[in-house]
Amino acid sequence: MTMTPMMAPMGNANFDGGAPALPPQPGTDMTGICFRDQLWLNTYPLDRNLVFDYFALSPFYDWTCNNEQLRSRSIHPLDISHLSKMTGSEYMLSEVMEPHLFVIRKQKRDGPEKVTPMLAYYILDGSIYQAPQLCNVFAGRLGRALYHISKAFSFASSKLEKTGYVASENESAASESKAAKETIDFKELKRVDHIFASQQRKLPPVPPPPPFPEGYVPPSTAEASENQQEETQLPPVDPIIDQGPSKRMKV
């Protein structure tokens, strides 16, 4: 049986005599852990009637929820007829694909028809996970897309710097005139610039960054400001405008 450590009952202690290790409180960021009880899965079927009992074994379960009050009264914990009459945090079974996928949503109930979603958990083939926040998913996808776009433009820029250079085959070409060596194909250069400019105009504007989660403290921007000052002191050198044809290396 492989699973994450569970909260020990009050008054129990570890074998070494110390206090039991408590898992993170339900409702916090627990996306880095999962729970699986293979012994339970080998004993009971995983269906919509017993899936909540299996979920209650995990460290994701909040024992102060309304579902636990129904369980103590021998009522099915997902009975909506009783949950709708209560207020507070509760769990609901939102999506079911027996026996492989179950989605459980944690929400706060303020009335019979007024609920506020809080977190989501999914049980995939017997393993329980906490679903990540939507802002974190968007931030990860946008960061990955911007990385590949920046890498593509850097690669294209490195290829563009070599456009128009005159490559000499050997030292025997030194007898040619200086003007012939420094000939630049401006027509080809403008054509490539036009292609990249048109592709860049097709890109959508960069969306604003997602809001920081509650309680997040952004790092100090002192180092970022110092790096920005260094970059402003050393402007980039354009290989075509600043160097000129006479200073351009020949490949």
As given in the structure block, the two tokens for residue 160 are: 């563009």
CA distances for 175 relative to 77, 167, 172, 179, 250, angstroms: 92, 14, 6, 12, 16
The pLDDT value given to residue 212: 67
Residues in a beta bridge with 122: 103, 129
User: Smallest Cα–Cα separation from 115: which of 94, 141, 129?
Assistant: 94
Name the 3-class secondary structure at 93: strand
The pLDDT value given to residue 1: 40
Which ranges of the chain have pLDDT less than 50? Answer: 1-21, 164-170, 222, 243-251
Segments of the chain assigned E as strands: 34-35, 88-97, 101-109, 115-124, 127-130
Cα distance between residue 184 and residue 124, in whole Å: 62
Dump pLDDT digits (tens) for 105-151. 999 999 888 999 999 999 999 999 999 888 878 888 888 888 888 88
What pTM does this model have? Answer: 0.50
The pLDDT value given to residue 186: 73
The pLDDT value given to residue 18: 43
The pLDDT value given to residue 5: 39
